[in-house]
Amino acid sequence: MKSIKWPKHSILLIAIIATWIKTAITYHTSFEIDIENGMQEFILILNPLSFLLFAYGISLFFNSPKIRNSYLVFVSLLLSIVLYANVAFYRFYNDFITLPVLFQTDNVGQLGSSISEIVNWYDFLFFIDVVILIIAMIFIPKMEVKVAIRKNVRRAYFVVALAITFLNLGLAETERPQLLTRSFDREILVKNIGTYSYHLYDFYIQSKSSAQRALADGSELVEIDNYVQANQATVNEEMFGKYAGRNVIVVQLESLQNFVINNDMNGEVVTPFLNSLTKDKDTYYFSDFYHQTGLGKTSDAEFVVENSLFGLGRGAVFFTHGGNTYNSMAESLGNNGYFTNVMHSNNDSFWNRDMMYDSLNIDKFYDINSYTVNDENSVNWGLKDIPFFEQSVELMTEMPQPFYSRLITLTNHYPFNLEEEDQMIPEYTSNSGTLNRYFQTVRYLDESIKVLFEELKEKGLYENSIIVMYGDHYGISENHNKAMSMYLEKDEITAYDSALLQSVPLFIHIPGSGDGKEVTETAGQIDLRPTILHLLGIDTTNDMQLGADLFSDEHEEFVIFRDGRFVTDELVYAGETCYERTTGEETDMAACQPYIDRAQVELDYSDKIINGDLLRFYDEKTGNLIKNAVH
């Protein structure tokens, strides 16, 4: 029987094809990549090939078959790890991993039960190409003799690789002009240049942003300051300083979206206490308010509210720029006699909070060591919200007044597990266990807020306080759109629907005010800093902030998302499509273009401030650059 004569570079060919096919299948099974036409489908299938040709092609420079094969296995394993890391990350964040996230390893150990929700038994299939390659090396006859690869073979190979790369980039640029200048939209990058090339580009962007701080001299602030001053909203004279001297209690409500407010689940009321606040005479309820977070999620919400700047499009500011100079809300309140603190029953190093809170000039962090935490009062990520609020109010009684406390809840956190004794309503019934459990943890969160109000009244802290509560980010990602469409009784969740589902509740509760109401004006987290400071009579004229006072007559109904989407009172821009807000129908892109341009400008300005650490050159008291900052 004649043995099969295998081509000289069969192993290389098998490595390329196996990884290519696996990657293409992964795109369609593990990521929610929106494909609008046949060309985008072709680009999606093509884009891994150009990178793989170069990555595996380097083996052609090795004459030894043993070294060549070892290199191919190493690259195959490395690329499998990279791809699987993106898959696991996407399951949790509905996004692709970035270089700064790789340095956030301190958080991994505390993911706890979330990891068991992310990892599946069949995930070994993401390494199937490595197995195929090793089997091929065993069964395909080895070339024992060292064979020098001819230069013309290598040259022809890499000419083909370059041709495919340029074809990929050319088609991508045709489908998505200015592709590489809009790096905040990772899905578009992956869709057009592929996961592996995206990571090379991500490395370039990270290196560029790191260099920005070293080269910055403050001159960039002149243009930014002119923009900020030109777009400032005047204060509402009636509201400015109306509640000066009151304590400020800001509650960040984990994963709470607006769709549960004044709504029910199979006849069960989900948020009875918060529902009552929407009609309360002392509460302003903002029903068209949006989170503006990115990959930093909870920490991004903290950052946006404290600084009235956007988080970064890549990674979390708390990690990448924790040592920057900021002009935070806490700093402004501290300069006006407030004792500033954050209350969160987690380790002080989680999300790099210990370093970041110093940069935000927060006087004290009441971390896990300030609380009594045990197995009985904990679930999922840590201390349950009811005992957290009870213990937090007790700690407030010992604080000098006026104080500013920002409290961060935990229980309503993915994967939304809750012990039976704390379940006040049954699970929902859909194909998504995540959504099913979400309603139960939201119900528990609602009950905990009721306890917070009761404790504040009992301890005598209620009447002289302003209580601000907002959802920090979405709880139900687009991975659960099928279940969400069932709950919302829609045929499907479109890009338009997804944008509007980023709405989170905002409550500004002012005991004794008597003029509370529902506010339907479109607004976002970036507006909270000036709003709170103005209620207390603290001027922000010179502050480098991009938000506007929610009570100002000049507040514009325009909310920018970190990924470039936006919502106004008339338009929604999502999925690279312009929609009429009221009907959800597609409309001419010309209507959205001015807002798209402005969104890009504001995101870029915010990035420049953070990446260049530009506020170290700025004196917020005078509104001027620090002398000798520009050179």
What does the DSSP assignment read for 387-417?
A: HHHHHHHHHHTTS-SSEEEEEE--SS-TT--
Residue 407 — φ and ψ, nearest 5°? Answer: -105, 135
Q: Which tokens in the block code for residue 100? A: 């700064």
Please count the CA atoms within 13 angstroms of the CA of 615 that sit on its side-chain side.
Answer: 23
| Structure-token pair, residue 375 | 């197995």
59: left (phi over 0), alpha (psi -120 to 50) or beta: alpha
Flag residues of the chain having pLDDT under 50. 1-6, 105, 107, 109-110, 143-147, 630-631
CA atoms within 13 A on the CB side of 316: 24
* DSSP string computed for 328-388: -HHHHHHHTT-EEEEE-SS-TTGGGHHHHHHHTT-SEEE-GGGS---STTEETTEE-HHHH
In this prediction, residue 71 carries a pLDDT of 95
CB-based contact 568:558 (threshold 8 Å): yes
Contact 496, 574 (CB under 8 A): yes
**pLDDT of res. 516:** 95
Bridge partners for 284 per DSSP: 508, 517
State the pLDDT at residue 319. 77
List every span in the chain annotated with CATH 3.40.720.10: 239-554
* pTM (predicted TM-score): 0.77
The backbone torsions φ and ψ at residue 317, rounded to the nearest 5 degrees and listed phi first, read -55, -35
- Homologous superfamily (CATH) of 239-554 is Alkaline Phosphatase, subunit A (3.40.720.10)
Using CA atoms in the order 564, 568, 572, 577, what is the torsion angle rounded to 10 degrees?
A: -60
Contact 280, 455 (CB under 8 A): no
Set 278, 283, 293, 298: catalytic member: 298
Q: How would you label 509-547 residue by residue, b for 16+ Cβ within 10 Å and e otherwise?
A: bbbebeebeebeebbbbbbbbbbbbbbbebebebbbbbb
Chain-centre distance for alpha carbon 231: 26
Active site residue 298: yes
User: Looking at residue 144, what is its pLDDT?
Assistant: 42
CA nearest 254: which of 95, 390, 379? 379
